[in-house]
Amino acid sequence: MKIGIDCRMILHSGIGVHLENILKHLQKEEGFTYYLFAPGEILDKVKLPDFYQHIEYRAGVYSLSEMRGHPRMSEMDLLHIPHFNVPFPYIKKCIVTIHDIIPYRMNELHTGIKKRLYLFFSLYAIRTYAKKIVTVSDFTAKDLELAFSYPQERMQTIYNAVNTRLFVPGEKLKSFKSKYNLPERYLLSVGIGKEHKNLAFLLDALLPLWKNESLKLPLVLAGSGGKIPDYLKPYREEVAEFIWACPHLPYEELPELYRNAELLIYPSLYEGFGFPVLEAQAVACPVYSSNASVLPEILKDSAYYFNPRDKEELQKGLLHILSSEENRLMFVEKGLKNIERFSWERSAAEFSKLYKSFLV
């Protein structure tokens, strides 16, 4: 069986982390030949097993040429597409992974009409013609059912996971904080500058706590390459000493960022999975999370929750957690237990089993 996998997004955050780890954990099996469709220079940056074969594919993401696909896709028995940007002539061969439908659900924050039309067209085509739809959470599967009438029997949830060789508990290193000019003790929030990450709400809630001195820990914002997004700059002008921007980190140093934090605060309004909360838990950093979208499914009882639209609730909960080391340690222990539910080895094995189901 020839299985083609679209790998053009393997260096992206989220989708790329998912794709790279699945490929690293798939096992070579008799009767399967894997072909990776991507620019060669992209694959050169990722260390993958040597049994994969490469087919040069340079179509831009969300481009017209991408919609047409690659001529050699016609040779494949199966195509594994890790996003909704499917090659339409070959869609009946496709197993498609859908991570979330943020552009649809958060339409007031993502207003590009072309992308929304493309999303609608693609998702309806996938629902009708794709061989199988894989979601990274039951929440995303339910969301697709509600928004686009996807039948549950055509979907399968295969969870993401965390690299537990890299993300492990360890000591807090002063050298890391010195290297990146970070404060001695800090709260952490991770998320790109997009508004559904809800960072303005978080700063609105923390601002009065800093001003009345009931909160003395600063907040480090990570995920925007060391820059404070323009819409957050007014907050920093008010309390510059309490809002820090973490520069871009090499992926292998990301665990240190979590390890050195007192607490991860995750105020997101919508996620399809939510890597940061598990990355934090894997290194023994407790998590204070929004109770929105997928997060209760991923975290269960291993985190302290707040309503991401209720500032007072966030404030009270935060001060409660920080008031007791016992509270913090309880969620550290629960977080480490929760991580055991997720494994890239298991996820890759589920994809392999799915491929085999189409051998007949």
Question: Are both 322 and 349 inside the same structural domain?
Answer: no
Question: Are both 101 and 201 inside the same structural domain?
Answer: no
Q: Please tell me the total count of domains within the chain.
A: 2
What percentage of residues in the chain have a pLDDT greater than 70?
Answer: 98
- Total-model pTM: 0.94
Question: Are both 93 and 226 inside the same structural domain?
Answer: no
Three-state SS at 241: helix
Question: Are both 333 and 190 inside the same structural domain?
Answer: yes
Determine the angle formed by the axes of helices 275-282 and 325-339, rounding to 10 degrees.
110
Euclidean distance between CA atoms 289 and 299, whole angstroms? 9
Is 23 within the bounds of a domain? yes
Is 167 within the bounds of a domain? no
pLDDT one-digit tens code per residue, 242-276:
999 999 899 899 999 999 999 999 999 999 999 99
Question: Which residues span the domain enclosing 305?
Answer: 174-339
Is 207 within the bounds of a domain? yes
Residue 305 CB coordination number (10 Å): 19
Question: What CATH number is given to the structural domain containing 188?
Answer: 3.40.50.2000
Question: Are both 37 and 60 inside the same structural domain?
Answer: yes
Question: Are both 215 and 309 inside the same structural domain?
Answer: yes
Is 295 within the bounds of a domain? yes
Q: Higher confidence at residue 179 or residue 108?
A: 179
Question: Are both 191 and 306 inside the same structural domain?
Answer: yes
Euclidean distance between CA atoms 255 and 48, whole angstroms? 22
pLDDT one-digit tens code per residue, 128-160:
999 999 999 999 999 999 999 999 999 999 999
The pLDDT of 38-42, averaged and rounded, is 97
Do residues 147 and 101 lie in contact, with contact meaning Cβ atoms separated by under 8 Å? yes
What percentage of residues in the chain have a pLDDT greater than 90?
Answer: 85
Question: Are both 229 and 334 inside the same structural domain?
Answer: yes
Question: Are both 318 and 233 inside the same structural domain?
Answer: yes
Whether the per-residue pLDDT at 108 is higher than 60: the answer is: no
Question: Are both 210 and 146 inside the same structural domain?
Answer: no
Is 166 within the bounds of a domain? no
Euclidean distance between CA atoms 85 and 41, whole angstroms? 21
Question: Are both 126 and 203 inside the same structural domain?
Answer: no
Banded model confidence at residue 109, pLDDT cuts 50, 70, 90:
low
Is 131 within the bounds of a domain? yes
Question: Are both 333 and 351 inside the same structural domain?
Answer: no
- Tokens 């072909």 sit on residue: 35
Whether the per-residue pLDDT at 111 is higher than 60: the answer is: no
- Tokens 């392999």 sit on residue: 352
Contacts of 114 (CB under 8 A, 6+ apart): none
The whole-number pLDDT of residue 80 equals 99
Please return the burial class of 77, using the count of CB atoms within 10 Å of its CB with bins 0-12, 13-18 and 19+: middle
